[in-house]
Structure 1
Amino acid sequence: MDRLRRMEIFLKLAEAGQFTRAAKQLSVSKSTVSQAVSDLEAYLGLQLVQRDGRSVQLSDAGQIYAAECRRVLEDIQALEDQVRGESLGMSGQIRLTAPNAYGTKTLTPLFLKFMELHPNISLDISLSERHVDLVAEGIDVAFRVGEMKDSELLARKIGATRMQMCAAPSYLANHGHPKDVADLRDHNCLIYSNNPVWQFEQDGDQVRFHPKGPVQTSSGDNLREFALAGLGIGFFPEFLIGDDLKSGKLVPVLEGIAGAVLDINIVRPADRHCPTRIIEFINFIQSEVQSRWRTS
């Protein structure tokens, strides 16, 4: 086994966090992964991983080596793309992550269209509400809704969404309509745990409300289901509940008060070579989202 292959195996172990999981993702045996790491440690004279039962933790040297392995392997991939010249480098894999609701409602049709245009590109898609560390987990592209907190990432705004208070007609029939923000204290509010404060714009002022209610969840889709079931009032991005508002399954609450507007960004690591396929993917998604945004 050559050193580059050992580096690939070690990097997959660093991302997977378990020998068994890394072996499964690489379609090799667990002993092959273990031997590759042991060979690297012997060659370098350093301990790269700390074994803790089924899981592994990278040592300080392992973290540095993993980052450099990723850079070297990406540089090699970029060189091969350039030399091949296949569709201007339009082949290979793109690893991406997006919030579950936004990925399902908005992005999935765009992913399908992109793959139809570029059949030699594969997408490794993770839909999750978890805030993913792109560099640590080897992610090429991420979609972020709301405030950007990662200064080391390159961000490109592709759209925006307004937050909207709404509830099922059955809930409002049983509990009445709130007349102002203060009335919300007497209602069941459905809380999104990743963003538990509701922000509004009222008479030019920013208003913050801390809701209380019977349920709190990290899933936007889960929260929407609770609202549809008549459990309480929710505060949602418009892309998630737009169809429900049109069909009447949900109705607006406090229509005179505008919810905050959240930017939607597509981001990538700033210190990583960006292959042609990723640049093309970002440009495509931005064009498609903004075209649909303008016509919606």
Structure 2
Amino acid sequence: MTNLGDLEVFVRVIAAGSMSTAARDLGLSPAVVSKRIKRLEDKLGTRLLQRTTRQISLTEAGQGFHERVLSILAGLEEAEAYASGRSSEVNGILKISAPTSFGRLHVAPHLKSFMRAHPDLAIHLVLSDELTDIVGGGFDLAIRIAELTDSSLVAKRLAPVRRLLCASPGYLAEHGIPETIEDLKSHRCLPAHNNDSWRLEGPNGPVTLRPEGSLITNSSEVIREAVIGGLGIALRSTWDVGGELKTGQLVQVLPAYESSRNVALSAVYPSRQFLPAKVRLFIDYLAELYGPVPYWDL
């Protein structure tokens, strides 16, 4: 049977991205870590890692092995917590991925309360607008805003997401208020990315638009500031601009059209038979915090 400690070393190497960093985290020498990885590969009869002078990467066999080892270690952690009656007492590190703006506005401000309730737990929050490889990146869970498709991952819906067309009163006073979807062709539109399509649900069913604008950026936060500043019409989520809509800095445009209701805020995590207590507790915390009618829509 494979040594459990070797599995833990293997997982730590992948999470750290290098043997030297993993060795430092584990309090071992790089030579010992390298020896234990080689022993594991010899035991399995296959190469798990591709090594270069600058980085390591998983082989195809290593990728599948890593996914299964994560599941095994998570199951052991949950089994220990269950057997010892510590299912609500968690420690270690909870590694989370979240979209940049949402994480800054609606995750970071609420960490204090959760961490105060679980003082032995450390949070590693990574904000990125790129689609995160949860397994490869060693994440416990990712927060995603999307219409999720079938995958090997498990998703728990946390809250609905409303996306609507909006503009500043100043822009509408200067350029007029569009009365139909066709009118948008004569307006300045602000897609989050230059090739983004706007998928809307209207009175006559779904509508897809490919808006064109004079501002090109890969930053959703830049678009947010642009629409508030009066540069055009944008499709924005209420979690992002709900405050500006309430104060009148922004006005909803074409209110009969909003984005697909299939888009939702979800917590996504690797499929595991036993969900680690730290992941379950954090997902439950967010679900209660946001709820079926999130606070930004009230």
TM-score (norm 2): 0.83
Q: Give the direction of change, closer, same or farther, for the CA distance of 1:215–1:32 in structure 2 (3 Å limit).
A: farther
Deviation at 1:54, TM superposition (A): 1.4
Render the CA deviation track for 1:66-116: whole Å, top value 9, x for unaligned: 234323332332343234433644333322222222222223333322222
CA distance in 1: counterparts of 2:190 and 2:24, whole angstroms: 39
2:238 matches 1:238: yes
Q: Which moved more, 1:146-155 or 1:27-36?
A: 27-36
SS in 1 for 2:78: helix
Deviation at 1:184, TM superposition (A): 1.5
Partner of 1:270: 271
Q: Give the direction of change, closer, same or farther, for the CA distance of 1:252–1:183 in structure 2 (3 Å limit).
A: same
SS in 1 for 2:149: coil
Q: Which moved more, 1:238-247 or 1:69-78?
A: 69-78
Partner of 1:67: 67
CA distance in 2: counterparts of 1:32 and 1:226, whole angstroms: 54
CA distance in 2: counterparts of 1:10 and 1:137, whole angstroms: 13
CA distance in 1: counterparts of 2:250 and 2:119, whole angstroms: 39
SS in 1 for 2:160: strand
Deviation at 1:201, TM superposition (A): 2.9
Amino acid at match of 2:111: F
Partner of 1:109: 109
2:193 matches 1:193: yes
Amino acid at match of 1:132: T
Deviation at 1:162, TM superposition (A): 1.5
Aligned residues of 2:190 and 2:234 also touching (Cα < 8 A):
yes
Aligned residues of 1:190 and 1:223 also touching (Cα < 8 A):
yes
CA distance in 1: counterparts of 2:246 and 2:71, whole angstroms: 48
Q: CA RMSD in A?
A: 3.1
Gaps of 5+ in 2: none
Render the CA deviation track for 1:246-280: whole Å, top value 9, x for unaligned: 23332322234344333222232223421233223
Q: Map 1:8-157 onto structure 2 (within 5 A).
A: 8-19=8-19, 22=22, 33-86=33-86, 88-157=88-157
Aligned residues of 1:163 and 1:236 also touching (Cα < 8 A):
yes
SS in 2 for 1:46: coil
Aligned residues of 1:19 and 1:55 also touching (Cα < 8 A):
no
Aligned residues of 1:155 and 1:267 also touching (Cα < 8 A):
yes
2:293 matches 1:288: no
CA distance in 1: counterparts of 2:154 and 2:73, whole angstroms: 21
Q: Considering fraction of residues, name the structure with more helix.
A: 1
SS in 1 for 2:177: coil
Aligned residues of 2:159 and 2:292 also touching (Cα < 8 A):
no
SS in 2 for 1:96: strand
Aligned residues of 2:197 and 2:208 also touching (Cα < 8 A):
yes
Q: Give the direction of change, closer, same or farther, for the CA distance of 1:254–1:72 in structure 2 (3 Å limit).
A: closer
CA distance in 2: counterparts of 1:58 and 1:182, whole angstroms: 49
SS in 2 for 1:75: helix
Deviation at 1:236, TM superposition (A): 0.5
SS in 2 for 1:192: coil
Partner of 1:247: 247
Q: Give the direction of change, closer, same or farther, for the CA distance of 1:165–1:116 in structure 2 (3 Å limit).
A: same
Q: Map 1:178-217 onto structure 2 (within 5 A).
A: 178-193=178-193, 196-217=196-217
Aligned residues of 1:140 and 1:278 also touching (Cα < 8 A):
yes
CA distance in 2: counterparts of 1:197 and 1:61, whole angstroms: 37
Amino acid at match of 1:260: S
SS in 2 for 1:125: strand
Partner of 2:167: 167
